């Protein structure tokens, strides 16, 4: 059974770059057949899709975040990562990683999420 | 403002039935599959329904999904106190700003 676990700093200063990693266990990213996703949830608010990556490196990003987002994959470590640049307090959120079958499909499973606070 | 519109809250008594609506447009719900997610307090979202009306293994048949035109509905029968959660719909939006979109979420209270 595939499991995902987010990791990274819980506190980032304004204007800096937020960096998170999702480690996949119980399955191999390089096997293909799935896209790997980042989704965030602002405190007390709804869900916002950030983007996907395939093991080959092909990516799709939320147009509203595209200029600041980079999602990458490291198949040797069975991990994929999120970088969000020029962060502000508005980027404070719980960040989830999740798996999806293909572009436009549902998300399952999800990681437990990690809270990132942007503050000086 | 979310692209998909859900009621902020719904409530019903234990044992009763409740429905949660999700309204969109032809660029999203109208031409793509809808999925539903349950988020219990303090936990990550969990897939409840995919491809409009299919349940993943382990999801009881008290949960059902349907779609008609540009709207989708989640139904929950035999409500239990453990069903108190936030519920989100989601789908792909094929407009010029293509991407995955979620509804704003609905808080279910089991009275």
Over residues B44-53, the pLDDT tens digits come to 999 999 999 9
pLDDT in tens, A18-57: 999 999 999 999 988 899 999 999 999 999 999 999 999 9
B:65-94 residues touching chain A, CB 8 A cutoff: 88, 90-92
Q: Are A13 and A119 in contact (CB under 8 A)?
A: yes
pLDDT in tens, B65-105: 999 999 999 999 999 999 999 999 999 999 888 899 999 99
Measure the CA–CA gap between B16 and A59, rounded to whole angstroms: 44
Give the model's pLDDT for residue B97: 82
Q: A14 vs chain B: nearest CA distance in angstroms?
A: 25
Is the predicted pLDDT of residue B6 greater than 90, yes or no? Answer: yes
Q: Report the pLDDT value the prediction gives residue B63, as an integer from 0 to 100.
A: 98
pLDDT (average), residues A94-114? 95
Given pLDDT bands bounded at 50, 70 and 90, which one contains residue B1? confident
**Tokens 């509203």, located at residue:** A64
Phi-psi region of A104 (alpha: psi -120 to 50; beta: other; left: phi over 0): left
pLDDT of A9 above 90: yes
Is A50 in the B-facing interface, judged by CB distances under 8 Å? no
Closest-CA distance, A59 to chain B, in angstroms, reads: 12
Nearest to A24 by CA among A111, A107, A113, A102: A111
The rounded distance, in Å, linking the Cα atoms of A43 and B108 is: 18
pLDDT beyond 90 at A114:
yes
CB-based burial of residue A16 (10 Å sphere; 0-12 exposed, 13-18 middle, 19+ buried)? middle
Task: Determine the pLDDT at residue A85.
Answer: 97
CA separation for the pair B42, A97 (Å, rounded): 16
What is the mean pLDDT of the segment spanning A89-109?
95
Residue from A2, A6, A38, A1 nearest A111 by CA? A6
Selection from B3, B26, B25, B89 nearest residue A62 by Cα:
B3
Q: Does B101 touch chain A (CB under 8 A)?
A: yes
| Residues A68-93, mean pLDDT to the nearest whole number | 97
Q: Name the B residues in 25-44 with CB < 8 Å from any A CB.
A: 32-33, 35, 37, 43-44
Distance in Å, alpha carbon of A54 to nearest chain B alpha carbon: 15
pLDDT digits (tens, 9 = 90+) for B10-28: 999 999 999 999 999 999 9
Using the Cβ of A111 and the Cβ atoms of chain B, whether some distance falls under 8 Å is answered with yes
Helix spans in chain A (H): none
Q: Give the distance from residue B107's alpha carbon to the nearest chain A alpha carbon, in angstroms.
A: 11
Please state, in angstroms and rounded to a whole number, the distance separating the CA atoms of residues B51 and B34.
Answer: 6
Establish how many alpha carbons lie within 13 A of residue A45's alpha carbon, considering only the half-sphere containing its beta carbon: 17
Please state whether beta strands B63-68 and B106-110 pair in parallel, antiparallel, or not at all (unpaired): unpaired
- R_g of chain B computed on alpha carbons: 13
Nearest in space to B25 (alpha carbons), one of B82, B72, B88: B72
Beta bridge partners of B48: none
Q: Is the pLDDT of residue B2 over 90?
A: no
The token pair that represents A107 in the structure block: 């998300």
Count how many pairs of residues, chain A against chain B, have C-beta atoms within 8 Å.
60
pLDDT band at B35 (very low <50, low <70, confident <90, very high): very high
What DSSP designation does B70 have? T
């Amino acid at each position: 059974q595939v499991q995902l676990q987010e990791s990274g700093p819980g506190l980032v200063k304004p204007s800096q770059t937020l960096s998170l990693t999702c480690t996949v266990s119980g399955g191999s990213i390089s096997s293909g057949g799935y896209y790997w996703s980042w989704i965030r949830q602002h405190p007390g608010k709804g869900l916002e899709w950030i983007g996907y990556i395939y093991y080959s490196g092909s990516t799709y990003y939320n147009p509203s975040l595209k200029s600041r987002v980079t999602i990458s994959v490291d198949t040797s470590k069975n991990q994929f990562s999120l970088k969000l640049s020029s962060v502000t307090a508005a980027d404070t959120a719980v960040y989830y990683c999740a798996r999806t079958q293909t572009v436009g499909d549902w998300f399952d499973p999800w990681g437990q999420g990690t809270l990132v606070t942007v503050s000086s | 403002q979310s692209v998909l519109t859900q009621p902020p809250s719904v409530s019903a008594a234990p044992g009763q039935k409740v429905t949660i609506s999700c309204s969109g447009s032809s660029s999203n719900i109208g031409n793509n599959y809808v999925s539903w997610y349950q988020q219990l307090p303090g936990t990550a979202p969990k897939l409840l329904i995919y491809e409009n009306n299919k349940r993943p293994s382990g999801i009881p048949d008290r949960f059902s999904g349907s779609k008609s035109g540009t709207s989708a509905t989640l139904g929950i029968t035999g409500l239990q106190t453990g069903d108190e959660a936030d519920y989100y719909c989601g789908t792909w939006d094929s407009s010029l700003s293509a991407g995955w979109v979620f509804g704003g979420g609905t808080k279910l209270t089991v009275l």
